[in-house]
Amino acid sequence: MFPIVAARPLARNIKLFEIKAPRIAKKQRPGQFVIVRLAETGERVPLTIADAHPEAGTVTIVVQAIGKTTMLLNMLEAGDSILDIVGPLGKPSEIEKFGTAVIVSGSVGTAMAYPTARELKRAGNKVISIVGARSKDLLVLEDAVREVSDETFVMTDDGTAGEQGLVTKKLQELVDQGVVHYVLAVGPVPMMQACANVTAPQKIKTIVSLNSIMVDGTGMCGGCRVLVNNSSQFACVDGPEFDASQVNFDVLTQRNNMYREQEKRSIERLQADPQSELKKLRENNLRRSCALDAALIEVTQ
């Protein structure tokens, strides 16, 4: 059981959690992720680590409610607990002095891009951030990004914040100015694919963080396999970051659609009566922590 010590909404359907998980807090590096399970009947979902405080023993995750588990998770508050959280998983981001690094992120992807941007800045890079979202109310962590970036551009589809347009528009401008040495793109698959297309002609080193479907996250199942340079790679252990020029984005999109029908059904079940699902989750967590206490008492006696 992992207590939630703080929880606050960042944007529409996006919430930030600080979770007590000392082992993960101590080991996490930018670019890595955790896998979370909420209930005994729950699924395992990978979520980005946005930050960590090793002294306090907490990790920060930013969650967008898109599936059943993330919707249920975003109903939780400080004082609730997370049944299972495991990590840090995946390889950390490659941190080097590249020169000028452009960090492109879409909506909740900013949570994953932010710690890498900060490390790249510390490593002596000039960091330019492009933060995108459909609309102002979906923008997250803009201030945090500004703090670690030399320049920050905000792009929205509807122009409600920053400049109107796609992140690729800004990326193209920067590339045309000819000063980009490294690009990290984190966000929806079409966005990452579009960024890869922008940087491909000039062969600018471009890294994307892939969000494929996972189960165990340790390389055991192979469900998260992606086609990279025409061979199967496991996003959980070989990634999640890969060289964008070698990634087959069509296969990634296709595989991420594999469970659409079931996902829809699970969401409908939750939405039929979300409050009772939440109540059930809280009761089960309470029962579980009582059982753990009892077991602990038995062991120490």
Closer to other proteins at the Cβ: 44 or 282? 44
Whether the Cβ atoms of residue 115 and residue 100 lie closer than 8 Å to each other? no
CA separation for the pair 110, 142 (Å, rounded): 8
Per rule CB under 8 A, is residue 126 in the interface with other proteins? no
Per rule CB under 8 A, is residue 237 in the interface with other proteins? yes
For the stretch 287-293, contacts whose Cβ atoms lie closer than 8 Å and that sit 24 or more positions apart, written own/partner, are 288/1, 288/83, 289/1, 289/81, 292/1
Per rule CB under 8 A, is residue 269 in the interface with other proteins? yes
Region binding other proteins by CB under 8 A among candidate stretches 129-137, 198-206, 217-225, 278-286: 217-225
Whether the Cβ atoms of residue 103 and residue 93 lie closer than 8 Å to each other? no
Least distance to other proteins, CB of residue 208, Å: 17
Region binding other proteins by CB under 8 A among candidate stretches 78-86, 100-108, 151-159, 201-209: 78-86
Per rule CB under 8 A, is residue 276 in the interface with other proteins? no
Start-to-end CA distance of the chain, whole Å, equals 22
Cβ contacts of residue 25 below 8 Å, gap of 6+?
52, 53, 54, 56, 57, 58, 59
**DSSP secondary structure, 51-62, as one string:** EEETTTTEEEEE
Per rule CB under 8 A, is residue 263 in the interface with other proteins? yes
Least distance to other proteins, CB of residue 173, Å: 34
Region binding other proteins by CB under 8 A among candidate stretches 38-46, 109-117, 141-149, 194-202: 38-46
Residue whose entry in the numeric block shows the structure tokens 């109310």: 137
The residues that touch other proteins, with contacts defined as CB under 8 A, are: 23-24, 27, 37, 39, 41-44, 68-69, 83-89, 215-223, 225, 227, 232, 234, 237, 250-251, 254-255, 257-259, 262-263, 265-266, 269, 295, 298-299
